Structure 1
């Protein structure tokens, strides 16, 4: 090979490499653009699924309460090892068959822990858990919300979980 042929070959290689790099960069940029464009919809769909899982687990715990002949506590198997080394959780229930933590502090957080056995996080975003009580109404409920304003409500007295809504 002459030095002219070697120079032409290296120019072709450099050009081909440059074209490939530009093509890959543009594909990555378009993927990132569309991902961030759709992120809000993905978050909403995932949070709706989380609310449905929460509701299903609430109903599963209540079904266990019925099968165990309506005790004050039910024992459920946990996916996590407990501080005492077992895999069993003792869940306090009210007379209607819904979870009712004994400690009145952080009620909604305790309910979340009994039901989901996971931290109050969704896609690295904190989930706010607030017990809402109106002075004129007897009914209190837990509101679980994301920083984006999406939330769902769990009515403790009837075991109902609302659909996901937007606060603003």
Structure 2
């Protein structure tokens, strides 16, 4: 792994895919300087959905989460960069788009809690990243490389 940061899991949900927002969402992260190290377009089945949302199994909204995430294809990808998980979460915005600041992905594209366009690993959940990346990607699906702008993105050794 290159010395520039951690990896984090992001997914454009079925509503984001249907609205043609994959490129837009990916561009925001790329322009910020986060590096794409893996990506996959797929249809999530019930089994994968239940693993992905295992922590919410007892909650009343669990069935809705599963039926929504399996309702159409998603685009899952892995980003790498300094403090990537926290950076991505701040760019994605609050879970409820009505509370998300304009300029965040959810603040710009979402109006409904159940249709919030994108999922990102939680920086406050230790290990969420590794768990979610491993659910969708094998290690050989992820590519380690230097992006040509990295010397302009990061000061040396800090």
TM-score, scaled to structure 2? 0.26
Larger radius of gyration: 1
Structure with more strand by fraction = 1
Q: Which of the pair has the greater relative contact order for Cα pairs under 8 Å at 6+ separation? A: 2
Structure with more helix by fraction = 1
